[in-house]
Amino acid sequence: MKKYSAKFCPLVVDVPGPTLDDATRRHLAHYGFAGVCLFRKNVQHRRQLAELVEQIREVLGPEALIAIDQEGGAVLRTTDLPEAPSAMALGAADDPALAEAVGAAVGRGLISLGINWDYAPVLDVNTDPRNPVIGDRSFGSDPAKVAELGLSWARGLEGAGVMACVKHFPGHGDTYLDSHLALPVVRKPREQLEAVEFYPFRRAVEAGISSIMTAHILYPALDPEYPATLSQAILTGLLREEWGYDGLVVTDSMDMQAITQFSADRFNPGAAALHAFGAGADLVLALGSRETQQAQAEALRQAQEEGTIPAQRWEESQRRLEEAIARFPGTPRPYSPTLEAEDLAILTAAARRSITRYGEVQLPRPGDRILFVAPDVAVGESAYENGPAAQDLARRLAERFPGLKTLAYPRSAPEAIRASVQAAAQEADFILYVTTSRQQLQPGEVELARTLFASGRPALHVALWNPYHAMNLGQPALITYGWRQPTLEALLEALSGAPTPGKLPVEFIPR
């Protein structure tokens, strides 16, 4: 192990744009952050992204970690690489070898740009259909399947040269609040946590997965005072001492309201980051304003100088960081057109195997006049930087079904098109109702769907993002678990009669 460096700054920060301006260069150089996390705001195309990664390493040094959330499905920060289906889509395919191949394909794309840390896969067990932020990011509702598929995906990623980061420890699947917006509380006894939430993360520790991200969630059975990110009982007592984990632990973003609201009357921004480090996190994800990053860095620097956290604690985190960098150095690897085409074929095959039938599905006939009804827009939210465009699906579907007619409704007022829908339904041979939101359906959307399915025409629901919409409506459906290009292509094939072998990876309770 190298001698402990007082310059070690255990923060991972974001940068404002697709290039480094002079002020950002000075900011990075002054504090010597451990790494940078990239978002859609940093991405124009892959050549630019590779140049940005190189610029960051020129400032922070070749050992800097370059991180990204490239989970697949809805959470893809760059779409200029082959697009992986969501974790829940892989849960529907239920093939560990396929999950590993998808993880490897994601890794090969990222390492070609010099990105050596992916905040994925999600090991949360999604047991609450109302969950507003996990859902399709989870492999399903069975802890054993989540562990098997998630760890296969992580092995594929790490085998390609990119460090995996399983999240959100100790589990974000049984919540109905979004920790980007509020502090969720999971009031389960320890025995239930052991059986469900803990299971995939225990398996990850046993498998030696290289890093874990914390959850901004309060678990009173484990720590009645602090959420996991700030809890010494959870990060040190449970994860380090009881489970024996010695990989990197990184916090989720400290600018999420679960932490900022909790910390408002307890810590200033710098002290909250220091508390997370003292609780057992090796790296703090310090996203947000430059002033907040400065406050966090200065609080950590002062703690180093004053010895308020023992030197051994700093040494342990620096050692883990150095070991991670040695294993995942971030040296770009060639990504030939042939290899990229092979990866795209893997991801397309995975999408085809994920499409799931729900109920007695009827399909449109080639000459049918199809009425296509969907919201006019689907926005991104919290972890998601964009949403599905049903109109893109409609355009592609019209190439196969020239008689297609589209009716779009404002999601805030579905009733606005009820009269138009009733009239158009009488002129249609087949009705497609497409749901595109990650959130629960609005009451008006449920009523609109009932109107469509009561029209007397053959009708089909397409759940283009949230699979639980099929449970809520209770009508025949095709479920895709996402909308990226390989998935849309698989859906078009399914609507034309291709096999739909996917199996529901979550428990549906019939309404």
Based on the residue annotation, tell me whether 252 is a catalytic residue of this protein.
yes
- 286 in Cβ contact with 254 (< 8 Å): yes
Q: Give the bridge partners for 117, in sequence order.
A: 67, 163
Return the HEC string of 291-323: HHHHHHHHHHHHHHHHCCCCHHHHHHHHHHHHH
3-state helix, strand, coil in the chain (%, to 5): 45, 15, 40
- Residue 121 contacts by C-beta under 8 Å, 6 or more apart in sequence? 71, 87, 103, 139, 150, 153, 154, 157, 164, 166, 167
Q: Is the Cβ–Cβ distance between 86 and 72 less than 8 Å?
A: yes
CB within 8 Å of 290: residues ≥ 6 apart: 27
Residue among 223, 252, 282, 343 flagged as catalytic: 252
Query: Which has the closest alpha carbon to 78: 455, 347, 342, 386?
Result: 386
3-state secondary structure of 477: strand
Rounded distance, CA 219 to CA 222, Å? 5
Place of tokens 């959307």: 445
For 77, the token pair is: 């920060």
State the CB neighbour count (10 A cutoff) for residue 81. 24
d(CA 500, CA 494): 6
Neighbours of 328 (CB within 10 A): 21
The token duo for 202 is 């225990």
Do the Cβ atoms of 64 and 57 come closer than 8 Å?
yes
Is 72 in contact with 84 (CB distance < 8 Å)?
Answer: yes
Active-site residue numbers? 252
